[in-house]
Structures are given as structure tokens and as C-alpha cells.
Amino acid sequence: VAELIDLTLDDQRPEPPPADDVCEISVDSDETAAPPSPLPPQSAELSQIDTLRAALSPAKARLAQLTADEAQLVKLAWRGPRGEILAHIPAARIHLSRSDLRRLQRTSWLNDEVINAYLALINTRSAAGRSEASPRKAPRVYCFNTFFYTRLTQGQKGEYDYAGVARWTRRAKVDVVAYDLICVPVNLNNYHWVLAVVDMRMRRFVYLDSMHGGDAADVLGTLRRWLADEVRAKHGPGRLDDMGLDNWPDEHNVGIPRQSDGGSCGVFSTLFAEALSRKRRRSAGHSSKRTKICDFGQKDIQLLRKRMLIELLLGRLPDLT
């Protein structure tokens, strides 16, 4: 170990500490710090993407065919170096590479990064649309990321563990009782995505599976237990009693299309959350048995995959109007 480098002047030097408290740092005076690695050169595709980004806005007519500029943006996003970073979503602290965004091609399975980035865009738009001046009265929506439910169910021996997520809402500055909808993406056994929704305004738990399967994993039961623990911890047992959670019904796959391809469950689940975030707020007690959640189906998924890609590249969703 090299000797300590001491830059203190003799007349400013304090008494030396005891030997046991000395922290020694090894310094090789013959070497200088290496300069930072240069950034990789920007590809021609990314330069063109930046030009199109500056000219485009998210389309409000989401089922309309792509314009020429939108189609060109999609082509450029899928062509080029796989590892090149094409989008940054600050709200999710996620950088999306071309490899990530290529998962929006054909019937590819979405990864956590793409889903979480898109859910963050929903949260950002929902927060912006909740201003007093907003005439539309959009629902107050908060989407957890894909790791929330996994952590909630990964206690000892894979059991329910509220303590593992107790600080998540505090860190996000989210008070669940102040929201209309809490959306929770769930990865079932690492092979299928579904969306679970805690509908605070309608007082119900909703399970949305694009394959129209049943809730065999009791996702809604787990979220009912989580909501009880969350309200009790943050608002006290009195508020929990007033909510009467035991009387909130479960609802399964009402008002959603059925998936018929083999890899778009993540797309469907994410788009269910987006569609819910656009619906006008309803009063408690309103019947939803015949209400369609979304206006798209399997035939629209290839187009909507491209719409999702464009929105991620632009870093925003269409405004709520």
C-alpha cells in the first residue's frame, strides 16, 4: 500500500489520528486517469428520427392509418444498430434501445422496459389532465410498473409481502384513495401478461386477460389484501372500515376484445390501461356490465404496435380532449 498523500500545510496539520482509524488509499503516481470513452457516432437513421420527431405529434385518431412521415419513423426505428438508444422516458428512468423497440414488431412479446415506459407515459398524461381547468374530467389514473406485483408476491417462500412494497406509494407520492383507477400489470408465470385494476370510484376489482382466462392465480384476491393493508397503514383502520372492501365485487374480462395471436398479451394489457385512462369519469353505482373498455380488436394490433412505437419515440401520448 502506498503512503498517504497529505496536502495539508505543516502549520495547519492537526494531530494524527490513532493508527486504527487511518484509512489508507493506494495511489500509483505514474498513471493518470484514462479519458472518458467517446460517445458512439450517431447513426444516419437516428439523425432522421430526430428530424421527424421534431415535426410530429401523437395522433389522436389512433386507429387511422399511418401518415407517410409516421411510416418512415417506424421504418427508421426498426432499421439500424440494435443497441442504439432511440428514446428516453424520464418518468420511468428508462432508455429504450432499438432492440427494445423491435419487440413492437409483428407478434413479439413485450419486455418490462417497453411496458413500463409506456405506463409511465399514461401516468404523465393523467397527472397533466387532472388540473382544475381540464373540462374533460379525465379519470385519475396511476399505473404501477411490472415489478410491483412481482415484489408483492415474493416474500418468504413466495408468499404475500406487503412490507416489500409498503414504501412504493410513498416514494411515488401516490395516495391510492385519491385516485379513480389503480392499474397493475401482472406477469403470470413468466409467460402471459394480464392487467388488474382497482377501480376506486366504482368500488370493484377488475381482471383483464386478453385470452379471456380466469383468475386462477387469485390476482384480485391479492390486490384486495394489498389495498386493505395500504389504506390501513396510510389512513388508519377507520378509513378502511368505511370503504367496506369485503363488498367490492370482482369483475373478469368485461368489455375487452379477445387476443388471437401468440405474443401480443403485453400489447393488449398495456393498451387496456391506456384506454381506461381516456374514459370519462363515471359516478359510483354506474353499471359497467355492457360498457366496452376499448374500441380496438385483434385486427388493429399491428397498427397499434406502430402507434405505441411512435408515442414512445415522441415521449408522449395524445392529449386528453
Calculate mean pLDDT across residues 1-21.
Answer: 39
301: Cβ–Cβ under 8 A, 6 or more apart, which residues?
261, 264, 267, 268
Q: Give the chain's mean pLDDT.
A: 87
Identify the three-state secondary structure at position 205: strand
pTM of the model: 0.85
What region, left, alpha or beta, does residue 137 occupy, with left being phi > 0 and alpha being psi -120 to 50 degrees? left
Identify the three-state secondary structure at position 5: coil
Which positions are catalytic? 192, 209, 265
Task: Using the predicted structure, report yes or no on whether residue 74 has a pLDDT greater than 50.
Answer: yes
Instruction: Give the pLDDT band of residue 134 (cuts 50, 70, 90).
Output: low
Instruction: Give the pLDDT band of residue 31 (cuts 50, 70, 90).
Output: very low
Burial class (CB in 10 A: 0-12, 13-18, 19+), 162: middle
2: Cβ–Cβ under 8 A, 6 or more apart, which residues?
25, 26, 27, 28, 29
pLDDT value at residue 85: 97
Directed axis angle between helix 68-78 and helix 44-55, to 10°?
150
pLDDT in tens, 152-171: 999 877 899 999 999 999 99
Instruction: Give the pLDDT band of residue 290 (cuts 50, 70, 90).
Output: low
pLDDT value at residue 131: 60
Task: Using the predicted structure, report yes or no on whether residue 26 has a pLDDT greater than 60.
Answer: no
Task: Say how far apart CA 271 and CA 122 lie, in whole Å.
Answer: 10
pLDDT value at residue 34: 54
pLDDT value at residue 38: 57
pLDDT in tens, 113-130: 999 999 999 999 999 876
Directed axis angle between helix 68-78 and helix 301-314, to 10°?
80
Query: Looking at per-residue confidence, does 11 or 145 come out higher?
Result: 145
Detail the DSSP E strand segments found in the chain.
85-89, 94-97, 141-143, 181-188, 192-199, 204-208, 250-252
Buried b (16+ CB within 10 A) or exposed e, 5-35: eeeeeeeeeeeeeeeeeeeeeeeeeeeeeee
Phi, psi for 179 (deg, rounded to 5):
-110, 160
Q: State the pairing for strand pair 181-188/141-143.
A: parallel
160, three cell numbers? 404475500
pLDDT in tens, 247-273: 999 999 999 999 999 999 999 999 999
Query: Looking at per-residue confidence, does 142 or 289 come out higher?
Result: 142
